[in-house]
Each structure stands twice: as C-alpha cells, then as structure tokens.
C-alpha cells in the first residue's frame, strides 16, 4: 500500500509569520506564544520562518549562532511537546565543527528532534542597483535531503533559496512527499517578483502542497523581508496567505484532494522514465546533477543514472 493511500485524511497546518527583532529572548518568547496559539486553533503541524531567532544577515549569523541542542532548540522541543504538534523550527544559525549553517530543526509532538535540514543552496545573488547578498561569505551549505514522516503525510524540507531549484522538489516528490515546507525570507526585490510564483510552480509541477513561512516585514531592519507567508495546493492555487505583518496562516492539508488532482491529471505516472529521470547522485560529494543518460534510448537525466532500475516513478 502506498504512503498516499495510507494517509487519506485532512489535517490542520499553521504557518507563523513572526516579527523578528535583535533580541533573541523576545524572538523565542513570541515564537512560543504563537506556536501555542496555532495548536489551540487545532493545527497539527506548525512552521516557523527562516532565522526566526535572529536578524537575517551575514553580520548576524556568527553572533547568534548556536549548537544543537542549544537555547533555541530547547525552546522548540518544549513547545512541540507542550502543544503536541509537529514543529518545523524555521531556521537558526547553527555552529558545528567550526562551520556555520542555516539550519531548520524539526521536532515531533513528544519533543524529539526528528531531523535537521541544513540549507543546501546558499543565497548568493547580485541584482545591480537593488540587492547583493552572499550567504557563502559566512555560511557553509548542507549536503543532505531532509524528509520526515507524520501520521498524516510525508514532508520535505527546504530553506528559502532551496525553492528555486526544481530538482530538489522533484526528488522530494519521488520520495513520496505530499507537502513541502520552505521557511524563507525573500526580500523587497525578489519577493514581489518570484515568491508566490515559485511556490505555485513547485506545487503544480509535483502536484503537492507547498507552505512558505516568512518573517514579518520590518522596514527598520538591515534586510527587509517580503512577508506574505503562503500555502499553495496541488492545483497550484493559493489557499491561504497573509500580508506583511505578524500573523498566523492556517490551512487544511487535504490528502484526498491531492489524490483527486493526481488522478485527474496523472502526470506522476505519465513521466517518460525511459527518456529522463530525476534521481539523487550516489557520489557523496554531490546531491544531484544534470547529465546525459548513457542509455542510447534516452535523452537526459537530472543526475547520473547508472542503473536503469534507478529510474522510478
């Protein structure tokens, strides 16, 4: 029986658009209060924004960095357990082995750390006259996919810039994910241009739910977040969103609706795996790559396919 057939149900999702200040203790307190508010609303899975415990910026990452476990993750663990929810802890600057990572910790309803996702694709952009940002000046990239199971569905995790890479979402879909969550902090240049567009594209391409959690907009901050935390359904439609202020976005994740969409437009079983494939790279030095298929009957692959049996739906 497939994971999808085992989890035909509807459950409540909450996306917290948190006001983030330079005072870590205040950020943690506000986050904990809003997690409780979301749980009281009936949400079973709660998502916090990127860098929920600190201002976002290369000048702040080392100052606010913590080990895991640490102050912020202890609060998250306690909040998940006290409220009986699955908690995607946005992200925090993590220090480990002398390196810094942009890391999303995920906790179960018993407070257990289920996994942590280190941002795979670092945010290095230069839009002349508008924004230049180089996460790689201080951060190191993650090198692993991040998926966790709930009684409701399987969830894939990315952080902000990860959403721009369609291959990652496709791989998560192939792993059986029905919901992708992206804590993120798009800015006033990329936000209005691409934030909603990327969410709808990832949801539509893979016929799954996509949720994004942004910090609330603070015009006095050195990096001004776009806000507009959003949930998109498998049809590619926005089903819940907010503006720029602090808020909690609620949505029902309906797995029966997801199954209906996939039956009506069955692209998940119509892919030409004899021509192309999306598969993880087996080399531990990489995650995925674009390369030709070696089989003369094929055209291309998103990552090398050395074993014909590796091309799976």
Q: Structural domains in the chain?
A: 3-264 (3.60.110.10), 272-313 (no CATH)
Q: Examine the residue annotation and report whether 160 is marked as an active-site residue of this protein.
A: yes
In the set 44, 50, 66, 116, the catalytic residue is 50
In the set 51, 104, 153, 160, the catalytic residue is 160
Q: Examine the residue annotation and report whether 177 is marked as an active-site residue of this protein.
A: no
> Rounded distance, CA 209 to CA 130, Å?
31
pTM here is: 0.90
| Neighbour count for residue 111 (Cβ, 10 Å) | 16
Angle at 187 between CA 186 and CA 191, to 5 degrees: 65
In the set 24, 44, 116, 119, the catalytic residue is 119
User: What is the SS3 assignment for 241-281?
Assistant: ECCCCCEEEEEEEEHHHHHHHHHHCCHHHHCCCCCCCECCC
Q: Specify the long-range contacts of residues 57-63, CB closer than 8 Å, at least 24 apart.
A: 57/222, 57/223, 58/133, 58/134, 58/135, 58/137, 58/138, 58/139, 59/222, 60/93, 61/93, 61/100, 61/102, 61/138, 61/139, 62/93, 62/95, 62/100, 62/138
**Cβ proximity of 212 and 195 under 8 Å:** yes
> Rounded distance, CA 207 to CA 297, Å?
28
Pairing between β-strand 179-183 and β-strand 209-213 as defined by DSSP bridges: parallel
pLDDT value of position 278: 84
Give φ, ψ of 157 to 5 degrees: -120, 135
DSSP 192-255: IIIIHHHHHHHHHHHTSEEEEE-PPP-TTSSS-B----EEE-TTS-EEEE--SSSEEEEEEEEH
List, in sequence order, every residue forming a beta bridge with 118; answer none if it has no partner.
103
Q: What is the mean pLDDT, run by run of 10 residues, along the chain of 313 residues?
A: 54 99 98 99 99 97 98 99 99 98 99 98 97 97 97 98 98 97 98 98 99 98 97 99 99 98 96 88 61 45 44 34
pLDDT value of position 287: 76
């Amino acid at each position: 029986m497939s994971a999808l057939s085992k989890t035909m149900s509807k459950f409540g999702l909450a996306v917290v658009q948190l006001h983030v200040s330079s005072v870590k203790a205040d950020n943690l307190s506000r986050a904990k209060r809003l997690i409780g508010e979301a749980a009281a609303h009936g949400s079973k899975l709660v998502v916090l924004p990127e860098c929920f415990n600190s201002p976002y910026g290369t000048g702040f990452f080392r100052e606010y960095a913590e080990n895991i476990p640490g102050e912020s993750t202890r609060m998250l663990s306690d909040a998940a357990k006290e409220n009986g929810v699955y908690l995607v802890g946005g992200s925090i600057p993590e220090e480990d082995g002398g390196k810094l990572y942009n890391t999303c910790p995920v906790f179960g309803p018993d407070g257990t750390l289920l996994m942590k996702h280190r941002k795979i694709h670092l945010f290095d952009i230069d839009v002349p006259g508008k924004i230049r940002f180089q996460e790689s000046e201080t951060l190191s990239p993650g090198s692993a996919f991040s998926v966790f199971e709930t009684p409701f569905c399987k969830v894939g995790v990315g952080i902000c810039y990860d959403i721009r890479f369609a291959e990652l979402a496709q791989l998560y879909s192939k792993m059986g994910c029905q919901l992708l969550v992206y804590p993120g902090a798009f800015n006033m240049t990329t936000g209005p241009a691409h934030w909603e567009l990327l969410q709808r594209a990832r949801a539509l391409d893979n016929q799954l739910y996509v949720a994004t959690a942004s910090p609330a907009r603070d015009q006095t901050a050195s990096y001004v977040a776009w806000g507009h935390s959003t949930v998109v359904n498998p049809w590619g439609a926005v089903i819940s969103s907010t503006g720029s202020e602090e808020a909690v976005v609620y949505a029902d994740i309906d797995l029966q609706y997801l199954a209906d969409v996939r039956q009506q437009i069955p692209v998940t079983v119509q892919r030409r795996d004899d021509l192309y494939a999306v598969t993880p790279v087996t080399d531990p030095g990489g995650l995925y790559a674009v390369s030709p298929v070696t089989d003369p009957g094929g055209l291309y692959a998103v990552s090398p396919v050395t074993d014909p049996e590796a091309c799976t739906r």
